[in-house]
């Protein structure tokens, strides 16, 4: 097609639509209005106004994690943009491809401390894969195209594009056909590397595959299953790989971590003599003390980003390559190298033998029991999103997953307030699947305003609040590591309108004030009926579960994989 005349903002909006963008999440302001106007006038992209830009970024992030596509958020200049920063940081930590558009003051006002001017590209740079300040209007489409390529190729990540308001309004001539994405060509493991892995596997008594977040990012869960079944080797998942392998598969051994673990997952790692890390990064919260984790085991580390290899853990063999093609090649080479099929391994009985207890009958309800009821009720492919806290840790210890990209979690950042936005975006992308935000009361306090977004756009998410009226995780740390010296972790308060000893905020009343139905649950037998009503309503729904404030979560108290008392419940 020939060049056409349009505003720079129009070129951006049209190009986003061509690239398949369906939604923009954000809050407009004067400096980003040309962008919003073009979205409205020229595209079928649906704009969701949120009640805090941070939620917009969390929605873009959650959309991307759930779909594998690029989530897009937008904000105005100054505080609008700075409100996106936590969201960008969380996406960067977990290598999530997303685009953030910010308005900027008019070019002549930049660097004059003018109204709502913030140096957003400089502020966002350390937490983005790339940042752009659009100064030449005729490059608008080119810059967006480049940003898209950067976000989606190699190790993925968020990209911010700052758009001065005057630049958005300049008429340019552009041919949008020039900006078509090309397939990403990734480095592949060499034949020699594959043979080295085969030799290490042959020499090992107890090899294990450790699955990280890169397996989801590479859409390689089928290849992982194929590889594990070919080798008949146990699979342990790291935090970001939690939903990369069906948790009822005979080869599933569990989860590894200092907090976010299952007993059998850690045991399998600690007894292994060869750990093949597939697309993970040996996060410190996963491995804890390197000496305890590594012992005498040999390590193979496959990661697209060679900066990750050998960063914390000494590695016998580091392979900077695409994990998907690596697994395909390794499975093929393993089949060729052997004379007979390996014996079939079934870890189901062992896994169940080591499982943590969940069927508590205490009142107030133990969080473990609440999560058991939730898992039993939900469909296998339901989305569950998380914030940060002891509720999140319990979920990571107990809540089984079966379907890739269904377990949404802010892994590297651990951001309170993240899960509601993520759950809403997943539900928008997959309206037929259930979508639940499992959230603590403290964390919901950081996203609460966006229940109004769920109500306004009629997004039938379920908000499952585990209310212990505490910053529970921090309280447990005060109890354990600071001799019970408690400060600023109690969320209860009293006055003539509010006297909820075990609840702090009355979330049911609060939700109803925003047009979201709510129910209070104090007995575990009432959880499933409440969930049933939530699903049948077809509306956003909040279930406030009052949980025991003194329930203790077993996680590492010395920072190592062995420093865990699994009986502590
Ligand atoms: C934005 C943010 N601020 C502070 C923290 C530190 N932090 C981690 S967990 C936690 C308590 C969370 O409380 P709640 O959501 O009620 O969960 P609980 O631990 O009680 O289950 C805090 C304050 C954080 N992770 N994120
Ligand atoms: Mg709490």
Q: For residue 473, how far is its CA from the centre of ligand 1 (angstroms)? A: 7
- Name the residue of 88, 397, 471, 546 whose CB sits within 8 Å of the most ligand 1 atoms, as the mutation to test its pocket: 471
> Mean pLDDT of all residues in the chain?
97
In a shared domain, residues 376 and 478: yes
In a shared domain, residues 218 and 100: no
Ligand 1 atom at shortest distance from the alpha carbon of 466: 21
Residues with CB under 6 A from ligand 1: 387-391, 414-416, 440-443, 466, 468, 470-474
Is 90 exceeded by the pLDDT of residue 499?
no
Alpha-carbon distance of 95 to 129, in angstroms, equals 9
Structurally, the chain folds into a number of domains equal to: 3
Is 555 within a domain? no
Residues 6-42 have pLDDT tens digits of 999 999 999 999 999 999 999 999 999 999 999 999 9
In a shared domain, residues 221 and 290: yes
In a shared domain, residues 259 and 211: yes
Is 80 exceeded by the pLDDT of residue 1?
no
Ligand 1 atom at shortest distance from the alpha carbon of 467: 16
Alpha-carbon distance of 388 to 419, in angstroms, equals 9
Q: What are phi and psi of 505, to 5 degrees?
A: -70, 140
Last residue in a domain, options 352, 368, 394: 352
Q: For residue 552, how far is its CA from the centre of ligand 2 (angstroms)? A: 13
Residue 246: the pLDDT is: 98
Count of beta carbons in the 10 Å neighbourhood of residue 40: 11
Ligand 1 atom at shortest distance from the alpha carbon of 439: 15
Residue 132: the pLDDT is: 98
- Proximal ligand: closest to the CA of 416: 1
| Residue 81 tokens, joined | 């943009």
CATH number at residue 293: 3.40.50.1220
Model confidence at 501, in pLDDT bands (50, 70, 90)? confident
Alpha-carbon distance of 232 to 131, in angstroms, equals 44
In a shared domain, residues 262 and 341: yes
Is 490 within a domain? yes
Residue 44: the pLDDT is: 98
In the chain, pLDDT over 70 holds for what percent of residues? Answer: 100
- Check: CB of residue 65 under 8 Å from CB of residue 91: no
Backbone dihedral region for residue 538 (phi beyond 0: left; psi -120 to 50: alpha; all else: beta): left
In a shared domain, residues 345 and 250: yes
Is 186 within a domain? no
Residue 569: the pLDDT is: 62
Residues 53-83 have pLDDT tens digits of 999 999 999 999 999 999 999 999 999 999 9
- Check: CB of residue 106 under 8 Å from CB of residue 99: no
Is 70 exceeded by the pLDDT of residue 202?
yes
| Residue 554 tokens, joined | 């077993």
In a shared domain, residues 338 and 485: no
| Residue 146 tokens, joined | 């480049």
With a CB cutoff of 8 Å and minimum separation 6, the contacts of 358 are 368, 369, 371, 372, 398
Q: Three-state SS for 544?
A: strand
Ligand 1 atom at shortest distance from the alpha carbon of 392: 21
Task: Look at ligand 1, atom 11, and give the residue with the nearest C-alpha.
Answer: 471
Alpha-carbon distance of 280 to 308, in angstroms, equals 9
Is 335 within a domain? yes
Model confidence at 464, in pLDDT bands (50, 70, 90)? very high
In a shared domain, residues 269 and 325: yes
Task: Look at ligand 1, atom 5, and give the residue with the nearest C-alpha.
Answer: 416
* Runs of H (alpha helix) within 112-235: 120-124, 140-152, 165-168, 191-203, 214-217, 221-231
Ligand 1 atom at shortest distance from the alpha carbon of 470: 20
Q: Which of 252, 324, 311 is nearest to 282 (CA)?
A: 311
In a shared domain, residues 105 and 24: yes
Domain that holds residue 142: 4-178
CATH number at residue 134: 3.40.50.970
Last residue in a domain, options 352, 377, 392: 352
- Proximal ligand: closest to the CA of 468: 2
Q: For residue 88, how far is its CA from the centre of ligand 1 (angstroms)? A: 19
In a shared domain, residues 167 and 37: yes
pTM for this predicted structure: 0.98
Last residue in a domain, options 178, 205, 223: 178
Is 551 within a domain? no
- Check: CB of residue 258 under 8 Å from CB of residue 559: yes
Backbone dihedral region for residue 86 (phi beyond 0: left; psi -120 to 50: alpha; all else: beta): alpha
Is 554 within a domain? no
Is 552 within a domain? no
Residue range 203-212: mean pLDDT, rounded:
98
Q: For residue 368, how far is its CA from the centre of ligand 2 (angstroms)? A: 14
Residues 139-167 have pLDDT tens digits of 999 999 999 999 999 999 999 999 999 99
Q: Which of 154, 133, 19 is nearest to 77 (CA)?
A: 133
Q: For residue 468, how far is its CA from the centre of ligand 2 (angstroms)? A: 5
Q: For residue 256, how far is its CA from the centre of ligand 1 (angstroms)? A: 22
- Check: CB of residue 474 under 8 Å from CB of residue 553: no
Side-chain half-sphere exposure of 233, counting CA atoms within 13 A: 29
In a shared domain, residues 371 and 511: yes
In a shared domain, residues 431 and 297: no
């Amino acid at each position: 097609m020939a060049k056409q005349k349009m505003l720079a903002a129009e070129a951006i909006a049209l190009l986003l639509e061509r690239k398949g963008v369906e939604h923009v999440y954000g809050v407009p302001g004067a400096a980003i209005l040309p962008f919003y106007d073009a979205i409205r006038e020229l595209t079928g992209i649906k704009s969701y106004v949120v009640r805090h830009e941070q939620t917009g970024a969390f929605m873009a992030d959650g959309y991307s994690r759930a779909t594998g596509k690029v989530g897009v958020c937008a904000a105005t200049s100054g505080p609008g943009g700075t409100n996106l920063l936590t969201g960008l940081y969380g996406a960067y930590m977990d290598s999530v491809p997303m685009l953030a558009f910010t308005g900027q003051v008019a070019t002549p006002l930049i660097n004059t401390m003018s109204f709502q001017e913030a140096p957003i590209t400089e502020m966002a740079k350390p937490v983005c894969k790339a940042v752009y300040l659009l100064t030449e209007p005729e490059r608008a489409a080119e810059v967006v195209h480049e940003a898209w390529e950067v976000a989606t190729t190699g190790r993925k990540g968020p990209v911010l594009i700052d758009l001065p308001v005057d630049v958005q309004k300049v008429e340019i001539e552009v041919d949008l056909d020039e900006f078509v994405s090309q397939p990403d060509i990734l480095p592949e493991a060499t034949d020699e590397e594959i043979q080295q892995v085969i030799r290490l596997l042959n020499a090992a008594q107890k090899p294990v595959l450790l699955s990280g977040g890169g397996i989801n990012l590479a859409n390689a869960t089928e290849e992982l299953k194929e590889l594990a079944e070919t080798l008949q080797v146990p699979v342990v998942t790291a935090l970001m790989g939690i939903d990369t392998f069906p948790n009822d598969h005979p080869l599933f051994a569990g989860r590894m971590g200092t907090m976010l673990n299952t007993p059998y997952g850690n045991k399998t790692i600690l007894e292994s003599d060869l750990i093949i890390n597939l697309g993970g990064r040996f996060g410190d919260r996963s491995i804890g003390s390197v000496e305890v984790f590594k012992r005498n085991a040999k390590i193979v580390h496959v990661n697209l980003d060679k900066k990750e290899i050998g960063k914390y853990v000494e590695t016998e063999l580091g392979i900077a390559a695409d994990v998907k093609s690596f697994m395909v090649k390794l499975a093929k080479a393993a089949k060729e190298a052997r004379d007979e099929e390996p014996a079939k391994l079934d870890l189901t009985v062992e896994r169940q033998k080591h499982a943590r207890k969940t069927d508590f009958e205490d009142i107030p309800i133990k969080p473990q029991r609440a999560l058991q009821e939730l898992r039993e009720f939900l469909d296998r492919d339901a989305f569950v999103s998380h914030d940060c806290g002891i509720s999140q840790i319990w979920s990571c210890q107990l809540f089984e997953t079966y379907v890739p990209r269904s377990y949404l979690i802010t892994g590297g950042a651990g951001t309170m307030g993240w899960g509601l936005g993520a759950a809403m975006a997943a539900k928008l992308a997959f309206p037929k699947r259930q979508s639940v935000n499992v959230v603590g009361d403290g964390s919901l306090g950081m996203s609460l305003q966006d229940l109004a977004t769920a109500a306004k756009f009629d997004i039938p998410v379920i908000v499952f609040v585990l209310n212990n009226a505490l910053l529970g995780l921090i309280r447990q740390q005060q109890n354990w590591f600071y001799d019970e010296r408690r400060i600023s972790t109690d969320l209860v308060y009293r006055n003539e309108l509010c006297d909820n000893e075990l609840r702090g905020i009355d979330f049911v009343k609060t939700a109803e004030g925003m047009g979201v139905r709510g129910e209070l649950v104090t007995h575990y037998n009432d959880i499933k009926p409440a969930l049933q009503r939530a699903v049948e309503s077809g509306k956003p729904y909040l279930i406030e579960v009052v949980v025991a404030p003194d329930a203790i979560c077993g996680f590492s108290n010395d920072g190592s994989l062995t420093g865990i008392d699994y009986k502590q419940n």
